[in-house]
């Protein structure tokens, strides 16, 4: 599905790849990338609900950082509801915090500030440690002016954390 979202594979070929693995959810993701509004709506709902569940599990960590999870959820919901299927596929693709970090500048280079911000929030919630969560939240708050010293420092801190 990510290959389709990035334009590496045509949607038809992506569906064939998914079918070869007998993966119906993969087919759904490809349909979302193609712009199927029903699938995009369902993907948004699933993503927001999964995000909410992780926030609840990590409630104490966010409280220790002075972060209101209702605000984070509301901001994430607003961003996700503005993303198209192609962007949603890119948002759920990262499997770790390094990948989330890599997708942030990729989104910005491609002019998708909302996706970059969503990656920052998604990275903050889906990582395990307090430090990396704090770093992603800093990147989210400073996002997304590449000329901003604050944003460049936030991205640099995330980068150095990962190397």
Predicted structure pTM score: 0.92
Distance CA 100, CA 113 (A): 14
Q: pLDDT by residue (tens digit) across 7-22? A: 899 999 999 988 898 8
CA distance 62 to 57: 10
Residue 129 has pLDDT above 90, yes or no: no
SS3 state of residue 138: helix
First-to-final CA distance of the chain: 28
Q: Each residue of 43-91: pLDDT tens digit?
A: 999 999 999 999 999 988 899 999 999 999 999 999 999 999 999 999 9
Residue 40, pLDDT above cutoff 90: yes
């Amino acid at each position: 599905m990510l290959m389709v979202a990035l334009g590496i594979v045509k949607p038809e070929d992506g569906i064939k790849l998914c079918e070869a693995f007998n993966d119906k959810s993969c087919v759904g993701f490809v349909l979302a990338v193609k712009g199927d509004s029903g699938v995009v709506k369902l993907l948004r709902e699933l993503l927001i609900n999964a995000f909410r569940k992780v926030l609840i599990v990590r409630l104490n960590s966010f409280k220790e950082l002075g972060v209101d999870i209702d605000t984070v959820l509301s901001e994430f919901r607003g961003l996700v509801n503005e993303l198209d299927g192609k962007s949603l596929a890119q948002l759920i693709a990262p499997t770790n915090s390094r990948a989330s970090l890599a997708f942030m500048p990729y989104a910005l280079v491609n002019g998708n500030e909302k996706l970059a911000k969503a990656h920052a929030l998604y990275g903050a919630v889906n990582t395990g440690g307090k430090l990396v969560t704090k770093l992603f939240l800093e990147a989210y708050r400073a996002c997304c002016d590449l000329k901003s010293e604050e944003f460049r420092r936030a991205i640099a801190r995330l980068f150095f954390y990962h190397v």
